[in-house]
Structure 1
Amino acid sequence: MKKKLTLALPLLGAAATALLASEHLFNFAFKRVNYVPETSADKQKYADAYYAYVDWYQAIDKQTWYLHEHDARNRMVAEYIPAETPSDRTVIIGHGYKGNGETMANFAQMYHNLGFNVLLPDDRGHGESAGKYISFGWLDRLDYLQWIQQVIDRSDGAVKILLFGVSMGGATMEMLSGESLPPQVKAIIADCGYSSVEAELVYLLKRQYHLPKYPIEPLVSTISKRRLGYYLNDVTATGQLKKNTRPILFIHGEQDVYVPVGMAYENYAATHAPKQLWIVKNASHAESFWINPQRYQQRVVHFLNTYFDPQQPLA
């Protein structure tokens, strides 16, 4: 009996350590923060350009839109920038992990200059929107269905909608692609989205913390099920993309070490709809725009003129 107890104590200690580590990791990764963390060191060189876009964003006339406006626990908030002249084209932009709509100011300006109305939601657990936890796009996709419907309702149905997102926002649009989308949604652009939340977590566990998948990932997944309603392996962009029927452009940095470029190839392979893939040489995570904004816009315009509204090409 004494020998069995002696053997059991280290096992109990290891289990307790794994549980504590999983709880800590879940809170670090999934719990909302009420600030935008600093960007990675490799992107600090773009700071002046970034804040020039933010200044433009803060100065331009905007409207605040809501989902569940009078329900504080479920209220979602977005900023809407109307086109310079009346337009039937609207882009809905999904932001990255722990960001908000304002962090997409550069893309907002790009699409505004192309004649689009621009809607920039703050996702669950981000910015001005409610939510204790970050859902990595899975629950957000349901909110975006409502944002799409609101765009349609406010446009009397005469609107062409583009879905665009970067990083977590890219994965959100990929997950959204498998839902039943209204005909007003014409195309999707996903920049550096991951293939699944589970695969991304396991990759970062190994790269950043030098930890194996087991037992941490299953424990984090169980916590996710209890608090967010889904296991991590329920949440895949690839599974949703298999159901997608909209033309989609995948963009990914060749040197991305946060969301590995292999995930772009997985997402591309899973897609049966019209598709394009642009791997940007020497770009790290979410850097493809910053390396050459003009080239980025040209590539986007080429895709839009092919699939979004070929009868009225953009300049």
Structure 2
Amino acid sequence: MQNALYKIFKKPFFGRFSKPWRWPESVDQAQWTRLNLKSQSGADISALIALAHTPSAKGAILMVHPMGVIAKGFWMKYGHAEILREAGYHVMVFDLNGFGESTSTTMDFPLDVLAAGQELKKLHPDLPVAVFGASMGAAMSVCAMAYRGHPFKAAILESAFPTLLHFWSRYPIPKLGIQLSKLVCPAGELRLRPTEAAKNLVGNPATLLIYGEADEFTPVKDGLLLQKALDGQARTLFWQVPNAAHTHAFAASPEEYKSRVVDFLDTYLLRA
């Protein structure tokens, strides 16, 4: 019954993304290993793992996708996963509940991030683990880092919204749903509010925030709000990318993107 109610509530937010998942074209499926795991959200989570291209790995990175039918395939399609693998990092991509091949349950997406991160750490116990999120995935990663037991020593967060309303206020029905949830279930809304989670980060993970100057969904000013919330809780770097649209800073500035992301991980994850 509970899942049926959540399915109705989630439809205005994510209904258009509920389509069969397909591998992105040009991806060598043989390089990826399937994994299924259970989240405390109640969902069965679908994940894929690929090893570093180097003889030995420096660390392992969990990649948390933005909204979209492509879900976990975002990181493969646009080349982010290959950047990390070439730099010496194992990667795991996965579908948040209700996206891609994962089952749909509650709105507790941070628990999906937590479960996937803990599983990645189990698979590579001797390596430091970081989280790399975009848009919704970045926001939910911040929230996941407020939970004890998360394994993340560093975080790269691109286009993260500071609160749900900052992103959804332009959409009347989702906006109303969030406003009602703040009245009916205020604790639930707080669990999904990155600026609140930022005050309670566990472990002080170093954080790289990336925002595009051409991003109409999570503008730079929203990123500055999140940075302010993170100040004092984590060492935070901020990169404002000229001409970059929402979640597409890599496309706008590929060489600098590679350099900044890899240098950040090599410096802050390996030092952790």
TM-score by length of 2: 0.82
Structure with greater Cα Rg: 1
Matches for 1:1-315 after TM superposition, within 5 Å:
27-31=11-15, 33-35=17-19, 54-68=24-38, 74-84=43-53, 85-98=55-68, 99-105=70-76, 106-131=79-104, 135=107, 139-155=108-124, 157-182=125-150, 184-202=151-169, 204-205=170-171, 217-222=175-180, 232=189, 235-244=192-201, 245-271=204-230, 272=232, 273-310=234-271
C-alpha root-mean-square deviation of aligned residues, in Å? 3.1
Distance 1:188 1:86, change over 3 A: same
Q: Distance in 2 between matches of 1:259 and 1:246?
A: 22
Q: Distance in 1 between matches of 2:194 and 2:186?
A: 17
- Structure 2: state its 5+ residue gaps: 1-7
Which structure exhibits the higher relative contact order, with contacts defined as CA atoms closer than 8 Å and separated by 6 or more residues? Answer: 2
Contact 1:162 1:186 in 2 (8 A): yes
Contact 1:198 1:235 in 2 (8 A): no
Q: Distance in 2 between matches of 1:290 and 1:299?
A: 14
Contact 1:192 1:264 in 2 (8 A): yes
Alignment-mate amino acid for residue 287 of structure 1? H
SS of structure 2 residue aligned to 1:65: strand
SS of structure 1 residue aligned to 2:104: coil
Displacement of 1:25 after TM fit? 9.2
Aligned length: 255
1:152-188 alpha-carbon deviations (Å, 9 max, x no partner): 2222x21110100111111121212222245x52200
Q: Distance in 2 between matches of 1:216 and 1:305?
A: 39
1:256-308 alpha-carbon deviations (Å, 9 max, x no partner): 11122211001101112111000001212112110121110101122223311
SS of structure 1 residue aligned to 2:98: coil
Contact 1:76 1:122 in 2 (8 A): yes
Q: Distance in 1 between matches of 2:31 and 2:220?
A: 37
User: Identity across aligned pairs (percent)?
Assistant: 21
Distance 1:267 1:220, change over 3 A: closer
Distance 1:222 1:234, change over 3 A: farther
Alignment-mate amino acid for residue 102 of structure 1? G
Divergent runs of 4+, >6 A? 223-226
Contact 1:80 1:118 in 2 (8 A): yes
Q: Distance in 2 between matches of 1:123 and 1:190?
A: 16
SS of structure 1 residue aligned to 2:17: coil
- Structure 1: state its 5+ residue gaps: 1-23, 38-52, 206-210
Displacement of 1:86 after TM fit? 4.0
Distance 1:26 1:118, change over 3 A: closer
TM-score by length of 1: 0.71
Displacement of 1:234 after TM fit? 5.2
Alignment-mate amino acid for residue 85 of structure 2? H
